[in-house]
Structure 1
Amino acid sequence: MSRSLWFVAGAGAGVWAVQRARRAAEALTAGGLRDRLQALDHGARLVAAEVAAGRAEKEAELRERLGLVPPTTPALEAGPPPTDAKELP
């Protein structure tokens, strides 16, 4: 019984080692490196978007708590631009 147990354990370890070696070899190819870099870029963009959303949410919360008006664009307050040169003051 002991020999068969060690045989199965060795076979399992061999299969695991071969799988790890294949994954490592694939990761070091041009396609594998490109995939890893794209995943890293995607992750960085997701983190940046989450940070920006959190920052905007916190800023709105602080402005509300302090009673400040939200920032506005001056062009929106003034109305649409004049269409004719005669309308200018």
Structure 2
Amino acid sequence: MRRGLWFVAGAGAGVYAMVRGRRAAEALSADGLKDRLGALELGARMFRDEVAQGRVERESELRERLGLVPHGRPELEGGRHKAVAPPAAPATTSHAQEEGTT
């Protein structure tokens, strides 16, 4: 029984080492390194996009809380305020001005 146990343990260790060796060789090949660099680039891009999205959400939340820009105002474009002129008052004329011109 002891010899059978050691044989199975040795065979298992040999198979494990062979599989790990093949994976390491594949990872260090040109295609393996290319895949790893592509995955790293994708992960960095996703992280950058998530950070940017969180920053924009937090900035708009702070602007609303501080009352800098009311919610839904189109004056905020690309993170910068546009100068907006106040609405013009309607022109009113008095009756005295109208009578004087006739």
Tell me the TM-score normalised to structure 1 length: 0.77
TM superposition shift of 1:37: 0.4
* 1:31 aligned partner: 31
1:3-82 to structure 2, matched below 5 A, reads: 3-69=3-69, 71-72=76-77, 74=82
> How far apart in 1 are the matches of 2:44 and 2:67?
34
Following TM superposition, the consecutive aligned residue runs of length 4 or more in structure 1 with deviations greater than 2 angstroms are 70-74
TM superposition shift of 1:42: 0.3
* Count of residues in correspondence between the two structures: 77
> Which protein is bigger by CA-based radius of gyration?
2
| Deviations, residues 53-86 of structure 1 (Å, cap 9, x unaligned) | 1111111111111011162364xx69xxxxxxxx
Instruction: Please state which structure has a larger fraction of its residues in helix.
Output: 1
Query: Sequence identity of aligned pairs in percent?
Result: 66
> How far apart in 2 are the matches of 1:39 and 1:58?
28
TM superposition shift of 1:7: 1.1
Give the aligned residue type for 1:9: A
CA RMSD of aligned residues (A): 2.1
5+ residue gaps, structure 2, are 86-102
Of structures 1 and 2, the one with the larger relative CO (CA 8 A, separation 6+) is 1
Tell me the TM-score normalised to structure 2 length: 0.67
> How far apart in 1 are the matches of 2:52 and 2:64?
18
